[in-house]
Structure 1
Amino acid sequence: MVLMFHSVGCEKENWYRNWLSVSLNHFETFCKFLVKENYETILLEEWYRNSSNKKNGREKKVVLTFDDGYLDNWVYVYPILKKYNLKGTIFVNPEFIEDSQVVRSNLIDVWKGKIEKSQLAPLGFVNWSELNEMDSSGVLDVQSHSMSHNFYYHSNILKDIYNGQANYDWLAWIKKPHRKPYYITENQKGFIPFGTPIFEFGRALGLRRYFPDDEFVNQAIRLYETDKNNKTELLGKLNRILQDYPGKFESDEDMEKRYRYELFESKKILENKFNKSVDFLCWPGGGYNELSVNLSIEAGYKASTGTPRYNLTELNKNKDYKRIKRFPMGSFITTSKSHHYVNRPNYLVSMFKSHEGSALHKTMYYAHKLSLMILEKIRK
């Protein structure tokens, strides 16, 4: 079984995506469970070798994967995995890796009495020095998450107007890519002019990019200054103006060039940095299509985190290229209204057992989620 984590220990931090984080208590309780129940944590290379052998499905082997390269993976995850003699895989985007070479403090320093736990700073992204130590130790194996992790517009349908909303923080990643590693710890709202029009968007490796007309964007920003208090009216005006400024979509050639950069360049950079073969790819947000899958095969990846929801010809007929089916692990139950933290220390253990097929634990999860939805409705 392959499990998907992102962040650890930042569930209460002042961060828009803190719901991606599992608590330290949950994570360490789960690690203790794996050790107690004699589960073996393996890396993706062993998973790949075993994936064609159906008998191995009954063995107590688990792959722990961590997406995005958050700094807490160095501060918390690496020390805890090392403590319990466990290992995992960390998927990183080179564009998000910090340039600093200073190795920052982590839990190991706390255990040695060099620093107080309260002095640890887990928000942000890892740097190359920290990644090198984790990879060379054999505790966390570095693999590719593509280059950028970007979102892009994919249609000329106007959806919203930017006025500093946290869920559009990715606009700053595109505007100032060199500041991407710091988007969690610095205020980047001002990187994008208020009034910037927002179009339908999606994941970089699953779409043809749309570019709005510069003059339309400038008009939208100017109109925002006078009409910002009436969003509905402003959107109506902009939709009428948009008819004269249709924008454009990237060509087939440009789209393929962009995909190649994402897939080939990330692999090349990581292989050069760590002097090893990088064979496994995690699609950011599960965004991919026929072209990006074909290019990932051409790039030399052995497997990726694709799911069967797309009928992809090359993925289905290529027997050597594997899908990595992953099961999400988190400290929150998400409803249509909010993300709800679960206090039970053994919650990840329960979630794991649910993924393994336990009817009891699946029922417990859905009962809890239903109760939260009912409470939300009552409070409304």
Structure 2
Amino acid sequence: MTVLMFHSVGCEKNEWYRNWLSVSLDHFESFCKFLVDENYETVFLDEWYNEQGSPSKESTRKVVLTFDDGYLDNWVYAYPILKKYRLKGTIFVNPEFIDNSENIRFNLEDVWDNKINVGELSPIGFLNWSELKKMDSSNTIDIQSHSMSHNFYFHSNNIRDIYTGQPHYDWMAWINKPHRKPYYTTENQKQFVPFGNPIFDFGRALGLRRYFPDENLVKYAIELYSNNEKLRDKSLLIEKLNKKLITFPGTYETDEEMEKRYRYELFESKSLLEEKLNKKIDFLCWPGGGYNDLSVNLSIEAGYKASTVSFKDKKLVENNADDYKRIKRSAMGSFISTNTKYHYVKDSNYLINLFKYHNGSVLHKNLYRINKLGFIILDKIGL
């Protein structure tokens, strides 16, 4: 049974840094129609779970559609289209990103009912509890856990960059102003992090021991950046900061602190979702595929029946006969990435071809490679 990974739907043209996570409405609806026309059945993860480890039960005509992060467009676009085609999807949600609003917002169903024009829909942002409850009470969407925070954290005292408002460090604002996390796609949060702040080696929250820079070093870095134009050269600033690290080396989490943080991420997200949605939460998606032995063991202790697996650990799903199972997923997107950018693929059948590639089609694997090579060539000639 194939498990597919989506994120956002219908926001590929919007001005937010991660718009490459979004599949276009054209691609998404074409793919949904394909699943129906080809007699594929979409199921929730509990049915997937019951078929694991039993080859005689496994079906190649069943598909699990999963959506990470809980974007508002999952309500605005994905949910109505899935309902239209009588398909099912699973949304993995981080409670720290759930919007604080209470009213259910307009979606495509309201457009179809002539209550609003499609151009008046507002798909950017994150889901609120009302929308989550509405979808989860249907037979179309199943809500599951994506941990609490989805944060990145520093894990060593190696300085790799200096913060000057780069969009790919938007997670720095999540840490400094956690109550504003649900709005990072709709507001400018660069001011939440002082320019000049050193960026150390970082990774996913549930796969590392957190490193805490010394506050004196951070203050020193910010002042140097602010007051000395010559030190706006990042290499010079990093060189000075590395010398200062001898005096202010920073600290690391203790074993106890790390376990406490992991427990919050795994136990609290499960408990909160179960309380709010009045249901059992059995499945966990690791943000960014970040986990380690401790976090996996704690997820088992928390009562999760299965969790996603990183592509590097794909051997863990070859048997999948243990009670605690691992979910191997295949990424679905409207973009092909090269070393320099993300390229949108215009072909409306692109997700269909990508699905066939994931299901082992040599022809569609080669078509993907040809597509990517074409974009690499375009990059080189500057188009």
TM norm. shorter chain > 0.5: yes
Give the secondary-structure state (helix, strand or coil) at the position aligned to 1:220.
helix
- Alpha-carbon offset, residue 230 of structure 1: 1.7
Which residue is 1:165 aligned to?
166
Which residue is 1:36 aligned to?
37
In 2, Cα distance between equivalents of 1:196 and 1:133: 42
Q: Are residue 281 (structure 1) and residue 284 (structure 2) matched?
A: yes
Q: Aligned partner of 2:345: which letter?
A: V
1:319 to 319, 322, 338: 322
Asked if 1 retains the 8 angstrom alpha-carbon contact of 2:99 and 2:128, the reply is yes
In 1, Cα distance between equivalents of 2:311 and 2:8: 26
- Alpha-carbon offset, residue 57 of structure 1: 3.7
Matches within 5 A, 1:90-105: 90-105=91-106
Give the secondary-structure state (helix, strand or coil) at the position aligned to 1:54.
coil
Q: Deviations over 1:121-172 (max 9, x none)?
A: 0000000000000000121100000000000000000011111110110011
Give the secondary-structure state (helix, strand or coil) at the position aligned to 1:200.
strand
Q: Aligned partner of 2:312: which letter?
A: R
- Alpha-carbon offset, residue 244 of structure 1: 1.1
Which residue is 2:233 aligned to?
230
- Where structure 1 has 5 or more consecutive residues not aligned to the other structure, the ranges are none
- Alpha-carbon offset, residue 48 of structure 1: 0.2
- Alpha-carbon offset, residue 233 of structure 1: 1.2
In 1, Cα distance between equivalents of 2:373 and 2:7: 25
User: CA 1:234–1:126 in structure 2 vs 1: closer, same or farther (change >3 Å)?
Assistant: same
- Which range is displaced more, 317-326 or 147-156? 317-326
In 1, Cα distance between equivalents of 2:232 and 2:260: 41
Give the secondary-structure state (helix, strand or coil) at the position aligned to 2:379.
helix
Q: Are residue 240 (structure 1) and residue 243 (structure 2) matched?
A: yes
Q: Deviations over 1:87-121 (max 9, x none)?
A: 11000000000111111000000000000000000
Matches within 5 A, 1:21-100: 21-100=22-101
Matches within 5 A, 1:177-256: 177-225=178-226, 226=228, 227-256=230-259
Q: Aligned partner of 1:331: which letter?
A: S
Corresponding residue pairs, total: 379
TM-score w.r.t. length of structure 1: 0.97
Q: Deviations over 1:335-379 (max 9, x none)?
A: 111100000000000000111111111100011101211222233
- Where structure 2 has 5 or more consecutive residues not aligned to the other structure, the ranges are none
User: CA 1:318–1:250 in structure 2 vs 1: closer, same or farther (change >3 Å)?
Assistant: farther
Asked if 1 retains the 8 angstrom alpha-carbon contact of 2:75 and 2:127, the reply is yes
In 2, Cα distance between equivalents of 1:216 and 1:372: 43
In 1, Cα distance between equivalents of 2:315 and 2:223: 44
- Which range is displaced more, 301-310 or 288-297? 301-310
Which residue is 2:260 aligned to?
257
Which residue is 2:341 aligned to?
338
Q: Deviations over 1:210-258 (max 9, x none)?
A: 0000000000000001145322211111111122110000000000000
In 1, Cα distance between equivalents of 2:162 and 2:64: 41
In 1, Cα distance between equivalents of 2:41 and 2:314: 33
Give the secondary-structure state (helix, strand or coil) at the position aligned to 1:309.
helix
- Alpha-carbon offset, residue 27 of structure 1: 0.1
In 1, Cα distance between equivalents of 2:206 and 2:321: 20
Q: Aligned partner of 1:97: which letter?
A: I
Asked if 1 retains the 8 angstrom alpha-carbon contact of 2:53 and 2:319, the reply is no
TM-score w.r.t. length of structure 2: 0.96
Q: Aligned partner of 2:300: which letter?
A: I
Q: Aligned partner of 1:209: which letter?
A: R
User: CA 1:312–1:212 in structure 2 vs 1: closer, same or farther (change >3 Å)?
Assistant: farther
Asked if 2 retains the 8 angstrom alpha-carbon contact of 1:307 and 1:323, the reply is no
User: CA 1:357–1:200 in structure 2 vs 1: closer, same or farther (change >3 Å)?
Assistant: same
In 2, Cα distance between equivalents of 1:355 and 1:317: 19
In 2, Cα distance between equivalents of 1:218 and 1:355: 48
Asked if 1 retains the 8 angstrom alpha-carbon contact of 2:53 and 2:320, the reply is no
In 2, Cα distance between equivalents of 1:300 and 1:13: 38
- Alpha-carbon offset, residue 309 of structure 1: 3.1
Give the secondary-structure state (helix, strand or coil) at the position aligned to 1:278.
coil
Query: What is the Cα-based RMSD across aligned positions, in Å?
Result: 1.7
- Which range is displaced more, 55-64 or 104-113? 55-64
Q: Aligned partner of 1:271: which letter?
A: E
In 2, Cα distance between equivalents of 1:236 and 1:133: 53
- Alpha-carbon offset, residue 316 of structure 1: 9.2
Q: Aligned partner of 2:287: which letter?
A: P
Which residue is 1:125 aligned to?
126
Q: Aligned partner of 2:378: which letter?
A: L
User: CA 1:211–1:322 in structure 2 vs 1: closer, same or farther (change >3 Å)?
Assistant: same
Give the secondary-structure state (helix, strand or coil) at the position aligned to 1:239.
helix
- Quick one: percent identity of the two aligned structures? 66
Q: Aligned partner of 1:366: which letter?
A: R
- Alpha-carbon offset, residue 82 of structure 1: 0.5
User: CA 1:82–1:228 in structure 2 vs 1: closer, same or farther (change >3 Å)?
Assistant: farther
